Structure 1
């Protein structure tokens, strides 16, 4: 069941990261844009962890 939680959190972080990147670009704020990129990457990793948990759970 942890895979769903990780996947959902990851998706949320990706969406928030994309929004921060867009805001940083619109306001010409490189710090905000970088923060958004970092959060998007964090979300991608979280989703990967969720998928790995799901795959491992299917094999057990």
Structure 2
């Protein structure tokens, strides 16, 4: 997956996760927290890929 896709999917997961956290059901709120964390991790992965590509391109 490309860095841009990782970042985009990460942002979508964060937004959906935040929406689930607004639920009145505890299990859905917990699922939302996990999905938000997954999104954050995907964004970190995307940023790392971008940084690595930039370093390779400079070399």
Aligned to 1:13: 13
1:1-60 alignment, distance < 5 Å: 2-23=2-23, 27=24, 29-60=25-56
What are the superposed Cα offsets for residues 7-59 of structure 1, whole Å, 9 maximum, x if unpaired?
00000000000000012xxx2x1100000000000000000000000000000
* Structure 1: stretches of 5+ with no match in the other structure: none
* Structure 2: stretches of 5+ with no match in the other structure: none
- State the alpha-carbon separation in 2 of the partners of residues 22 and 54 from structure 1: 33
Runs of 4 or more above 6 Å deviation: none
Root-mean-square deviation (CA, aligned residues, Å) is 1.1
